[in-house]
Amino acid sequence: MKRLISLTVGILVVVLGLAIWSQQLQQSQGATGDKVLNLANWGDYIDPSLVKKFEKQSGYHVNLETFDSNEAMFTKIQQGGTSYDLTVPSEYMIEKMRKAHLLVPLDHSKLTGLNNYGARYMNQPFDPGNKYSIPYFWGTLGIVYNDKFIKPGEVKHWDDLWHTKYRDQIMLIDSARDILGFSLVSLGKSMNTTDAPTLQAAKGKLDQLAPNVKAIVADEIKMYMVENEAPLAVDWSGEASEMLAGNSHLHYVVPSEGSNLWFDSLVIPKTAKHYKAIYAFLNFMSQPKNAAQNAEYVGYATPNNKAKALLPKAVRNDRQFYPDAQTMSHLQTYEDLSPKTVGLYNDLFLEFKMYRK
């Protein structure tokens, strides 16, 4: 009898353990009932105190999962098995997700803060009429320079990077689309070109830049620039913001002849389940005070004009991260290119990296 009782207790312990494990697994995957919001976002891309504020005000618990690339996020949603209510893809990925039928249209009647956003950041080619997306942050591709080595005003245009005096002095972000992109702009071409000869010409011009390139790196580019390892770098404005915060000698320039204008936006993937929580969060993040707080924490440019007005004057008037209208008019947003064209960009960039060796 004791053995039977012991066995029964053992089975109950195992079952209870499995139940707890199952609950924890569901929580880690965002499936914790109706009073939750499952958010998939880039790492460190929202002020944690805002999340707590939203939870306290709304009563919804936020399950936050991070991803490190648009492609990784896309694959998880496409393959299923996730329960994301909201995610934050970049502009070209929004177009790709829309074409793949992975997005749920927004119900504009449930949105209370759309009029807070600047017209310049709405109705973009990747999502006409903002049928699927609300802008979250935006930025540019540009040049970071160190005034210990480079005089202010000395580097203002892409073509300046090709000057022979900058031999072995430039760091490039490891991104085929961006590096071929600024070469295309320097040739007066579109950053979205699909023309093979034009891309070959851009790659040929990059080969001429090769002697000036010190390294092609990823996230570590921030550390190198902060530690004065190179006078020049090509990187995104968000990364540049972090560099400038760590080294007062660094400055950021967006060439007036043109560059990339990127967007990260909030969208509802087809995996969404908690629609009351979704619209509560979208409206919460659209409130100027909350959007301004998030912008100060993340360091990226906000598309919420009413939030921008709440930022410190030095921030909202900083032309490094809020370029003037003339420069903005020459910026280009990336389009979702065909796999064949993306492959060509990647192949040419790889050839350029091998050429440097």
Helices marked H in 191-310: 196-209, 220-226, 237-246, 275-286, 288-298, 305-308
Tokens at residue 162, please?
A: 């090709």
pLDDT at residue 193 in the model:
97
CB-count exposure of residue 241 (10 Å: 0-12, 13-18, 19+): buried
Tell me what pLDDT residue 58 has: 97
Tokens of 157: 């245009």
How far apart, in whole angstroms, are the C-alpha atoms of residue 333 and residue 340?
Answer: 20
How much is the pLDDT for 299? 86
pLDDT at 33 (0 to 100): 64
Tell me the mean pLDDT per 10 residues along the chain, length 357. 41 46 44 82 95 98 94 93 94 95 98 96 95 97 97 96 97 95 98 97 97 94 96 94 94 96 96 97 98 94 97 92 91 93 95 82
* Residue located via tokens 């939870």: 55
CB burial readout 190-221, b (16+ within 10 A) else e: ebbbeeeeebebbbebbeebeebbbbbbeeeb
pLDDT for 27: 44
> CA 205, 234, 94, 196: dihedral to nearest 10 degrees?
0
Pairing of strands 259-269, 331-332: parallel
Residue recorded with tokens 């007062």: 248
| Beta carbons within 10 angstroms of residue 109's beta carbon | 7
Strand partners, 236: 141
